[in-house]
Amino acid sequence: MNMDVQEYLPFLVPLLLLQLVLMLTALVMIIRQEHFKYLNKVVWIIIVLVLNIIGPILYFVLERR
Amino acid sequence: MNQMLPLFKKEFIESWRNFKFAAILIVFAIIGILSPFTALILPDILGMVMDDSGITVEIPESTTLDSYMQFFSNMNQMGLVIFVIVFGSILTHEFSRNTLVNLVTKGLKRTNVIVVKALFLMLVWTIGYALSALVAYMYTIYYWDEPVDHLVLAFAMTWVYGLFIISLILLASTLFTNSFIAVLFSVVAAVIVMLMAGIHPDAAAYLPQYLIGNNVGLLAGEIDPEDVLGSMAITAVLSLVFILLAIIRFKKVPMN
pLDDT, averaged per 10 consecutive residues of chain A (65 residues), comes to 67 86 88 82 88 86 75
Between CA B42 and CA B28 the distance in angstroms is 21
pLDDT in tens, B192-235: 888 888 888 887 888 888 888 888 888 888 888 888 888 899 99
B30 to A19: CB separation less than 8 angstroms, yes or no:
yes
Is residue B192 within 8 angstroms of chain A, CB to CB? no
Q: Which residues of B touch A11 (CB under 8 A)?
A: 33-34, 36-37, 40, 139
The Cα–Cα gap between B158 and B164 comes to 10
CB A48 within 8 A of CB A23: yes
Contact assessment for residue B243 and residue B171, using Cβ atoms and an 8 Å cutoff: yes
Query: B26 at the A interface (CB within 8 A)?
Result: yes
Contact A11 B22 (CB under 8 A): no
Q: Give which of B21, B24, B44, B20 is closest to B32, Cα–Cα.
A: B24
Chain B residues lying within 8 Å of A26, measured CB to CB: 19
The tens digit of pLDDT for each residue in B14-70 reads 888 888 899 899 999 999 998 988 888 888 888 888 877 777 777 777 888 888 888
Which residue ranges make up each domain of chain A? Answer: 2-63
Q: What is the largest CA-CA distance in chain A?
A: 48
Burial of B181 (0-12, 13-18, 19+ CB in 10 A): exposed
**Per-residue pLDDT tens for B140-191?**
888 887 878 888 888 988 999 999 999 999 999 888 887 888 888 888 898 8
* Alpha carbon B226 to chain centroid, angstroms: 22
**Smallest Cα–Cα separation from B11: which of B124, B109, B173?**
B124
Q: Cβ contacts (< 8 Å) between A53 and chain B: which residues?
A: 27, 30
